[in-house]
């Protein structure tokens, strides 16, 4: 009797037997179908659950070998969130999750007919949301539960806007540790995760900048959680009024011999190399790896951003800053390919026209020796100090009007050394003086200036 060709084939096969035996065969058939159906609905076993706490939400991730159906309920009196995993078994001790700094009071797991129920007892009400994520390297299927704080208590430092009192102001530097949370970034041969290394370097850089006159650092992320790319720029510029944005990463490549640090800026003419294009592609996929919701994705128009950056001069200044940092890195790490040029590509995290923005690749974590270096506290300190020194040199050679650095230069006589890409009109705007007064102070006829030439900046 063949049962895999459909009901008609089964019915015709049964007619070959006496009526007394047809019922026996039918019973056996139903039993086999039940067994086959049960096998098809075998429970999915969940053996990994992770938790990440950010300043305003808690993310719980169920790693799945296959997609599962689920049901989400929010209950009150007392506040709790219930997740039912249909046809699934939880083979993980959730009591081992670190949720002490979250709104979660306790996690309970119960096994019911055809489902596993996970109950999150809460200290306070939250706004829950779930999302079933398709596989994306390095993750397989994931069920994500986000618990958004009803009253966010942000731990981020929020800077005050520049004062209009006439007193010199600090230059605000936003330090962005790449990846985080569900996005581990690249991995080294020893399992070192990029997200951990760059956060350590970022914290060291912040500590050094806090001791530097005229500089006020702020962290975009200060823990193991993910911040969407567009949100990183928003935190830097809108929340903290940052003048400069420095994103810190660690490179990786399939060739383990690849090595060296490098610095990148946004491009207005395509990537300057195949590697720059590849790195930008990897960096821009971070939101997908981390499981960012559709409505949170960055939809800013690159062409308009580039136009705004050219108008404000922030693209040229990003290249100036990048060159200063590269010069400093050259003293503590090998540069990739021995090149002392800032590469460019369409990095989404750098698309903020009102900030001078660079991305620093501190080395190849995929290279065994550089992975070892990046794990070293002393090497991390050297990398952080080289970024600080480069940033300081940029502020000294390109002091923003009204800044502490501008006041220092003014006290010593205001002069400016012309850099590649400078224009007379751009320098005049930077120092808030007229082009004619700049010409008069330097005996310049017309608009022609030369790289390396030193200009005297007239008092406005």
pLDDT digits (tens, 9 = 90+) for 81-119: 999 999 999 999 998 999 999 999 999 999 988 899 999
- pTM (two decimals): 0.78
Taking residue 78's Cβ as centre, other Cβ atoms within 10 Å add up to: 10
Say whether pLDDT at 163 is over 70: no
Q: Report strand pairing: 454-456 vs 415-417.
A: antiparallel
Q: What is the pLDDT of residue 447?
A: 86
Q: What is the pLDDT of residue 9?
A: 43
The confidence band for 305, taking pLDDT boundaries of 50, 70 and 90, is low
Average pLDDT, the chain: 85
Q: What is the pLDDT of residue 363?
A: 94
pLDDT digits (tens, 9 = 90+) for 337-353: 777 899 999 999 999 98
pLDDT digits (tens, 9 = 90+) for 263-289: 999 987 789 898 899 999 999 999 999
Long-range contacts of 183-186 (CB under 8 A, 24+ apart): 183/226, 183/286, 183/289, 183/290, 184/138, 185/249, 185/250, 186/250, 186/251, 186/252, 186/365, 186/366
For residues 35 and 213, which has the higher predicted lDDT (pLDDT)?
213
192 to 23, 136, 186, 203, 243: CA distances (angstroms)? 64, 20, 8, 17, 32
Q: What is the pLDDT of residue 236?
A: 97
The DSSP string of 166-177 is SS-BPEEEEEEE
Q: Report strand pairing: 343-345 vs 262-266.
A: parallel
pLDDT digits (tens, 9 = 90+) for 49-62: 999 999 999 999 99
Highest averaged pLDDT of the listed ranges 7-11, 61-65, 266-270, 445-449: 61-65
**pLDDT > 90: percent of the chain:** 60
């Amino acid at each position: 009797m063949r049962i895999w060709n459909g009901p008609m084939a089964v019915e015709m096969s049964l007619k070959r037997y006496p009526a007394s035996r047809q019922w026996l065969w039918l019973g056996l058939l139903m039993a086999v179908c039940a067994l086959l159906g049960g096998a098809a609905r075998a429970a999915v076993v969940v053996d990994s659950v992770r938790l990440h706490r950010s300043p305003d939400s808690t993310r719980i991730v169920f790693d799945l070998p296959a997609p599962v159906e689920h049901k989400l309920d929010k209950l009150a009196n007392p506040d709790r969130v219930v997740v039912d995993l249909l046809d699934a078994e939880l083979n993980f001790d959730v009591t081992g999750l670190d949720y002490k700094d979250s709104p979660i009071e306790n996690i309970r797991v119960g096994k019911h007919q055809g489902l596993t129920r996970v109950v999150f007892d809460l200290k306070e009400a939250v706004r829950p949301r779930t999302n079933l994520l398709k596989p994306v390297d390095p993750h397989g299927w994931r069920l994500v539960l986000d618990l958004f704080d009803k009253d966010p208590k942000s731990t981020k430092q929020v800077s005050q806007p520049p004062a209009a009192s006439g007193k010199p102001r600090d230059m605000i530097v936003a330090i962005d540790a790449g990846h985080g949370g569900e996005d581990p970034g690249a991995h080294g041969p020893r399992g070192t995760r990029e997200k951990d290394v760059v956060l350590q370097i970022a914290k060291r850089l912040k500590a050094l900048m806090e001791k530097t006159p005229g500089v006020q650092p702020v962290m975009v992320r200060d823990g193991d959680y993910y911040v969407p790319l567009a949100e990183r720029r928003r935190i830097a510029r809108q929340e903290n009024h940052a003048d400069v944005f420095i994103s810190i990463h660690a490179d990786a490549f399939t060739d383990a011999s690849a090595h060296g640090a490098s610095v990148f800026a946004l491009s207005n003419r395509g990537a300057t190399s195949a590697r720059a294009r590849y790195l930008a592609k990897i960096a821009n996929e971070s939101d997908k790896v981390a499981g960012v919701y559709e409505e949170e994705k960055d939809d800013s128009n690159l062409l308009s951003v580039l136009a705004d950056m050219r108008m404000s001069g922030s693209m040229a200044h990003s290249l100036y800053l990048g060159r200063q940092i590269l010069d400093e890195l050259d003293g503590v790490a090998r540069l990739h390919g021995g090149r002392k040029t800032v590469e460019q590509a369409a990095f989404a995290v750098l698309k903020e026209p009102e900030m001078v923005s660079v991305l620093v690749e501190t080395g190849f974590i995929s290279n065994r020796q550089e992975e070892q270096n990046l794990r070293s506290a002393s090497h991390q300190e050297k990398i952080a100090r080289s970024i600080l020194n480069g940033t300081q040199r940029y502020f000294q050679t390109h002091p923003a009007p009204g800044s502490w650095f501008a006041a220092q230069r003014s006290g010593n006589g205001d002069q400016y050394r012309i850099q590649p890409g400078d224009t007379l009109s751009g320098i005049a705007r930077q120092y808030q003086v007229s082009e004619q007064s700049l010409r008069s102070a330097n005996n310049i006829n017309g608009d022609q200036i030369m790289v390396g030439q030193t200009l005297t900046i007239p008092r406005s």
